[in-house]
Chains A and B, each alone.
Chain A
């Protein structure tokens, strides 16, 4: 059974940093592109970043490029999101999601349950 379990969400002050993790199981992790998607309270879904199965290429939404860094450790079946210079507008539930395909754009066929990041003083 495919499982994605996020962790690392917390309350952090504006300008602070946080590292999210996603532990994957039930599939061959190093053959799938992975994504982070977020959802602000009461809002729609917003794609944040994408990393190919091999670690490159990597893509970011404009509003997080230069502040967030996505990475993966295929030996540990884990996906990460290092978030720096956090802003109030980054407040959201962050989901780890698997792309069904490994090239080009793709639908997301499995999602974790999310981890809440709150940016507030």
Chain B
């Protein structure tokens, strides 16, 4: 079945440091890929997405590129802020299925703490 493996946390960085959170996936066909962010006590918010190979998703200074050859979708940010402290989830969704269930399969999440 589909699966997502992401970098174990926690990750602790100083403000303005460079961030990379690795994500690799296993899926049939060509899934859509997502990064979601979860702040304490809240639900998940979509951070960015990519729907086909070589697409780059970007939002709020975060970027991730859909790499079919390495089945990866690593999250990067050039300069993190304290407000970026949260749990980050990589996820995939099938783009075609027997029915119409585009359910998300998530990684375990990576806790990021940014210190001032």
**A and B from one complex:** no
A residues engaging B (CB < 8 A)? Answer: none
